[in-house]
Structure 1
């Protein structure tokens, strides 16, 4: 049995108000191509299919496009579970009617854990879909007393342990936060104060655990308890992550063997730093200047329309930080001479950028007199 484990598609997501739909389509096409190239028996999506519980129509259309290609045209079954970003009921609509087509959607949590037997070319396996569910939901659905995410997951996994798989390997699909996992800024916290953390030991008895929620590919507790990571970089904190999907193959004894299949983005997400003039010069020959960028400017002087100047070279600058100005906070003595000098320097820089010429001596004297007069008024007010 061979399948691709992926998660956290977040279809419909924006990065600093920039739509990523075209970027998502680009990578989803790669995932489909990898499924064909490696002749897999199934595609697993471990939650956060959409970025919002009520996704925009364009996001729904993209998912429909991908699912139709994989399930109807390529005849590859898909199993997807709801994550904490998804609207469970909306995602699970008509899921029972779609099972015969090869599309298995586990939306809301039900009293009985969903078990799905898939037959591969070289063998079969039993898959158990556990959608994201907080302790309150587990208490309500299963009518039990649990107060933590770990206790809730332990209760759900009792059914997986007890279920008779007729000797087939057991693969658990879950969307949760394992203790010790490496986080990034784009993941929505599941709870406050660490109460969402679950011990990886709960999942080690199974042949493979396909996890979603954390955006960096990683494993915890054992190498067969794995996060595939998100398919794209969804925050600048992820700039150094290498995105991939996980190819999993269960041998005749049920042991999982896996390989990370790299994904390439249409545009990278990265941070660049330096002075404005240097960055503009570098940008003219930067073959990746259309990447999504956060720029940290080290200039310590005022700059007129810094974002406009940057976007003339780097069209997809999404965020700008003036680290040069911030670095001196608290270091300047608050004397009147220092304040006047700072005000004069900033106005001088502004004047030069607007007019293209430096201030004349007469203009400097006039401006100094104006600043002095303002400070006199400030002292008497």
Structure 2
């Protein structure tokens, strides 16, 4: 069975107020061409289909056109879609039962949905696991728990699934998985991703070892989670400056007999690159580019801001930001008024006011643990 794996489309997203509709269509059309060329049996979209829970009409139109083109080039393909943390699970679930009769399976909310496909080697069991918080997972556990971390909740939930190890099994999930021996700060997370305080959303990947392939979404950088069969496809294009050097891709997985899995990276090329240009003002304006660029000027002397800004935007119509590499001297001997420093828990609650009671308890436990180590 041949499977395509993509994720984090973020349809409707803007990059520094630039509409990405044309850029996203350019990349999605490459996905369509790959489907036409390689004829996969199945396409997995591992969450964050839209950038917002209430997507724009233009984003919904783009999604509908993309799905329609998929079936135009391959009528019998099976498409499997889960919701991500940017999506509305209820919106993804619209017409869920009706769509399943058209080989389009969507799962925006728990419980995990199992879809069974077959080839010459027998059944392949797909488990569709949408983005879920511990509070959303708890009602589906066989035993009740008052307080669970992301890691504990997902481990308990996946452990109670009746997965037949003698058959081939594929998990499609949108969460932050990490090898248990990895340091949290060693994983590069893009600026365009939603991050949690203290990375409390981390889930250790040992629970994924029972699957023949794990199609992940959530991390925008293409990466392997320790084992080659546990993969983040990454976003199909760069959605922030922090992604400027990443090579974007779609993954092609050939599942043969049990224990034989071949994985191929299919490159995706952007309409416009996201990149940084560093140099002196007079040198920078000697060139022109349609790319999304961050301009870093090296000039020490004062520049006429209005004229500089206007000239740069003439040469770079998709400029994201302009910064100056100017040295500033700081008074390192100044006194700090420490009486105004608030409690860490209070500060974080002010910064993230919509945390539920479960998240606040986890946060307090982390602060207490760090305080005990210091």
Fold match (TM-score > 0.5): yes
Match of 1:198 in 2: 203
Match of 1:302 in 2: 302
Three-state SS of the structure 2 residue aligned to 1:242 is: coil
Say if 1:122 and 1:329 are closer, same or farther in 2 by CA, change over 3 A.
farther
How far the C-alpha of 1:313 sits from its partner, in A, is: 1.0
How far the C-alpha of 1:128 sits from its partner, in A, is: 0.3
Asked if the contact 2:188–2:221 (Cα under 8 Å) also holds between the matched residues in 1, the reply is yes
- Kindly indicate whether residue 118 of structure 2 is the aligned counterpart of residue 119 of structure 1: yes
Match of 2:322 in 1: 320
Asked if the contact 2:54–2:88 (Cα under 8 Å) also holds between the matched residues in 1, the reply is yes
Distance 1:73 1:2 in 2: 16
Distance 2:90 2:144 in 1: 22
Match of 2:37 in 1: 37
Asked if the contact 2:35–2:73 (Cα under 8 Å) also holds between the matched residues in 1, the reply is no
Out of 223, 228, 239, which is 2:244 matched to?
Answer: 239
How far the C-alpha of 1:197 sits from its partner, in A, is: 0.8
Deviation track 1:137-182 (CA, whole Å, cap 9, x = no partner) reads 111344732511111111221243x1448x4310001011122443
Match of 1:87 in 2: 88
Three-state SS of the structure 2 residue aligned to 1:70 is: helix
Distance 1:122 1:41 in 2: 14
Match of 1:353 in 2: none
Note the 1:199-348 alignment, pairs <5 A.
199-281=204-286, 283-284=287-288, 289-304=289-304, 305=306, 306-323=308-325, 325=326, 327-330=327-330
Match of 2:104 in 1: 103
Match of 2:177 in 1: 178
Say if 1:321 and 1:121 are closer, same or farther in 2 by CA, change over 3 A.
farther
How far the C-alpha of 1:220 sits from its partner, in A, is: 1.1
Say if 1:121 and 1:277 are closer, same or farther in 2 by CA, change over 3 A.
farther
Distance 2:264 2:323 in 1: 38
Match of 2:6 in 1: 6
Where does the alignment leave 5 or more consecutive residues of structure 1 unmatched? Answer: 332-381
TM-score, L = length of structure 2:
0.81
Deviation track 1:13-42 (CA, whole Å, cap 9, x = no partner) reads 111111111100110110111112111101
Distance 1:122 1:310 in 2: 59
Asked if the contact 2:50–2:59 (Cα under 8 Å) also holds between the matched residues in 1, the reply is yes
CA RMSD of aligned residues (A): 1.7
Match of 2:127 in 1: 128
Distance 2:122 2:293 in 1: 46
Asked if the contact 2:223–2:234 (Cα under 8 Å) also holds between the matched residues in 1, the reply is yes
Distance 1:140 1:52 in 2: 26
Three-state SS of the structure 2 residue aligned to 1:101 is: coil
Asked if the contact 1:48–1:84 (Cα under 8 Å) also holds between the matched residues in 2, the reply is yes
Asked if the contact 2:140–2:157 (Cα under 8 Å) also holds between the matched residues in 1, the reply is no
Q: Which has the larger radius of gyration?
A: 1
How far the C-alpha of 1:72 sits from its partner, in A, is: 5.3
Asked if the contact 1:72–1:101 (Cα under 8 Å) also holds between the matched residues in 2, the reply is no
Match of 2:366 in 1: none
Asked if the contact 1:229–1:243 (Cα under 8 Å) also holds between the matched residues in 2, the reply is yes
* Range with bigger deviation, 254-263 or 210-219: 254-263
Match of 2:150 in 1: 149
Where does the alignment leave 5 or more consecutive residues of structure 2 unmatched? Answer: 332-374
Say if 1:211 and 1:260 are closer, same or farther in 2 by CA, change over 3 A.
same
Moved over 6 A (4+): none
Say if 1:317 and 1:260 are closer, same or farther in 2 by CA, change over 3 A.
same
Match of 2:61 in 1: 61
How far the C-alpha of 1:329 sits from its partner, in A, is: 3.8
Distance 2:329 2:115 in 1: 59
Matched residues, number: 319
